[in-house]
Amino acid sequence: MTIELVTLAVVLVVIAVVFAYTMKTGISPVPTSPRVKRAVLKSVPDDMHGTVYELGSGWGTLAIPLAKRFPDRVVVGYEISPLPWAFSRLWQAIAGVPNLSLRRTDFRNVYIADAGLVVCYLFPSAMEALRLKFEAELRPGTVIVSNFFAIRGWEAESERTAEDLYASKV
């Protein structure tokens, strides 16, 4: 009976923490599906220069493959929600990707001018706020890959449709 109560308490705490950060950020942490991940990775040019940033790196389902794809680049993932961040740190240790830095901080408060690539899977209002950040900080030629949500007022240079249930646009 004690093990069941402890398990229930842990599950309730996990749910409460995820819910609290969902309310704080306005979006729940959703892992990138394998099919969308493939579409994102196919959208990234091989000759990219500079730091790779994933804004809202969540569970690490994209940050770790990006670090493996670009072993000679610094890859930085920002995630504010503690549980997905902790999970991604554990997965990073298992995967052994030394070029990946996972930081538990709000990406809106970091300077990303050295970016060669920025990847994000965020809700529309976050993308609108990022538009201003991108215009202020990123140098011309920086590649931005967005999963599903476009930046209003910008025209995509290219678009890829993932072969998933939602036909997600990348």
CATH 3.40.50.2000 for domain 29-146, yes or no, is no
The rounded distance, in Å, linking the Cα atoms of 121 and 59 is: 12
78: its two tokens: 């920002």
pLDDT at 87 over 70: yes
Residue 53 has φ and ψ, to the nearest 5°, of -115, 135
The rounded distance, in Å, linking the Cα atoms of 26 and 12 is: 20
Where exactly are the structural domains of the chain? 29-146
Q: If you count them, how many residues does the chain have?
A: 170
Per-residue pLDDT tens digits for 133-142: 999 999 999 9
List the one residue out of 122, 113, 102, 100 whose CA is nearest residue 142. 113
- Tell me the whole-structure pTM to 2 decimals: 0.86
What pLDDT is attached to residue 19? 65
The rounded distance, in Å, linking the Cα atoms of 54 and 79 is: 9
What pLDDT is attached to residue 74? 97
Per-residue pLDDT tens digits for 14-34: 666 666 656 566 566 677 888
Give alpha helix (H) positions in the chain: 2-25, 34-43, 63-69, 82-95, 124-137
**3-class SS at 2?**
helix
Per-residue pLDDT tens digits for 33-61: 888 889 899 999 988 889 999 999 999 99
Per-residue pLDDT tens digits for 65-78: 999 999 999 999 99
List the one residue out of 100, 98, 144, 99 whose CA is nearest residue 119. 144
Per-residue pLDDT tens digits for 90-119: 999 999 999 999 999 999 999 999 999 999
